[in-house]
Structure 1
């Protein structure tokens, strides 16, 4: 089964058809970045409407068994996720509430510090806050995966240590291979792997450097990452932004917290939306990723693990055992 650890696309029927064209079994979608509780609930309502209108192609999953059932039905399973914890509005009880609404993945912080911890762009990382520790505990209890992709190093290490379940970095790369604040130091990735976590290797140009040149260079990035943490802890996290326009990018980078230009993973010299990768314009190219891994020397079992099996193992460990609908 092919699994994408995270996308931030503007989904519509055409994008859902691309998921099916690439035989995607499961994708984690981004429901929000900076939105407060009410705005986040509005997003979930919009997602329900969108999925209902395209029920022949996709369905929302809340357990690993549901992912497998939706895949067996010839559709793509969607895991609802947020790239920030702003939807909690500082209320610990909202973790369970949003889990009951179907949310299964949440990043602790986005691009600035919040009441849970620091981001990877903050100059000082004070670590996981007291509230943050309780959020991690509640996420473990409610069956919501902890995502550390944009989270600061100290906050991430403390979250890994504090979590009773494996945690994820859904879309980033090793900083030792591509130096960038959004990428992760080796010691953090090794700690993640020791607790059973998964890193979603990304081909996003700004954090992949020379490895974004082709499917084969991306496969080399995967191979070197596997050397660092073990092939059982590596997956795909495309961070694909289909139909994302510059206004969307400005919202992701600036939210409502600043009046100054922010560049996220880009820079003043490289401020705009990155052009699509010629070898990965959309998810219909997922089979080509598997082929590139095979050319690099990955065996059949390891290709299957990287392309989705490791994520599925993670979901079986972290997501609830039973559907919230029961």
Structure 2
């Protein structure tokens, strides 16, 4: 059984069927990037309709017990997540309200600095703001997992220290293995691990690099080197796989409403559009190759289980509270 710490895009029955074919027991889905509170509510409503229409394949999970129940029923558990904190609209009380609606993962910042702190793309990372400390405290209280994937290093370290519960980097890789602003320093990864957190290794080519995308074994070698930094109990899978995205989707994801210009996000100027998937991950169902790949690079059965699902399940139980 596999747990994927983050996917995004336009899900439909075709994707849900492939998730089942890959034996993916649980995936955190991206419900929004720049959406305000009303738009975020609308997104959650659409997700509820989608889950209801495909109840034979998927169900929504709000805790670790839900994940186990849904997996035992032969379906995939979906965790509702947002890649930014704009859904709260600057209102501290909305943290609890969105948690009550089922939101279980929230990234503090996306690609821009916001009222909570700095992003990985800012020239100067301001660190966690006063409002950011309040939101971290509320997310802890409400049982919502804090995500630092697009967050700047200084803000990430502040959040790790300030949070009373372990936090996550749901979809990124070590910067020492592929030098990209989206990836994480050893200092951040080790601080995350020391407090019980988990990093989900990504398959997104722009932050993984062509070398590690050549085969599932090469990607799993990157996972092994990440374990060397964080430890076996703190590394998992967070593919960052997108589904059915077209140019308007990429424009919204990268530019939102904040610029009149062009921003390429993590893409290099030489490859401004959709990044090719890893050579071994052409279809969603190919995610199912990961467990065999982990075994082939030397992980034991117990270690494969931790990376494939155990570390996420442990973290979800500690943060979600059930």
Please classify the TM superposition score into its range, dividing by the shorter chain length.
over 0.9
Q: Tell which deviates more after alignment, 277-286 or 161-170.
A: 277-286
Deviations 1:180-199 (A, max 9, x none): 00000000000000000000
Runs of 4+ in 1 over 3 A off after TM superposition: none
Equivalents in 2 of 1:215, 1:317: separation in Å?
A: 30
Counterpart residue number, 1:185: 185
Q: Could you tell me which residue of structure 2 aligns to residue 150 of structure 1?
A: 150
- Partners of 2:8 and 2:163 lie apart in 1 by 26
Task: Give the structure 1 partner of residue 267 of structure 2.
Answer: 266
Paired position in structure 2 for 1:45: 45
1:174 corresponds in structure 2 to: 174
Kindly state the Cα deviation for residue 281 of structure 1 after the two structures are TM-superposed: 2.1
CA contact (8 A) 2:206 2:268 kept: no
- Does structure 1 conserve the Cα–Cα contact (< 8 Å) formed by 2:213 and 2:280? no
Q: How big is the shift at 1:313?
A: 0.6
C-alpha displacement of 1:87 = 0.3
Name the count of aligned residue pairs: 321
Aligned residue for 2:6?
Answer: 6
Give how far 1:283 is off. Answer: 3.1
Paired residue for 2:133? 133
**Residue matched to 2:319:** 318
Aligned 1:302-317 pairs, distance under 5 A: 302-317=303-318
Match of 2:237 in 1: 236
* Superposed counterparts of 1:9-158, under 5 Å: 9-158=9-158
- What CA RMSD, in Å, does the superposition of the two structures yield over aligned residues? 0.8
Q: Which runs of 5+ in 1 are unaligned?
A: 322-326
Distance 1:297 1:278 in 2: 21
- In structure 1, how many angstroms separate the alpha carbons of the residues matched to 2:284 and 2:96? 32
Residues of 2 paired with 1:153 and 1:277: CA distance?
Answer: 27
d(CA) in 1 for partners of 2:176 and 2:304? Answer: 23
Preserved CA contact (<8 Å) 1:212 1:218:
yes
Superposition deviation, residue 145 in structure 1: 0.2
Unaligned 5+ segments in structure 2 are none
TM-score (norm 1): 0.97
Partner of 2:301 in structure 1?
Answer: 300
8 Å contact 1:145–1:168 — kept in the other structure? Answer: yes
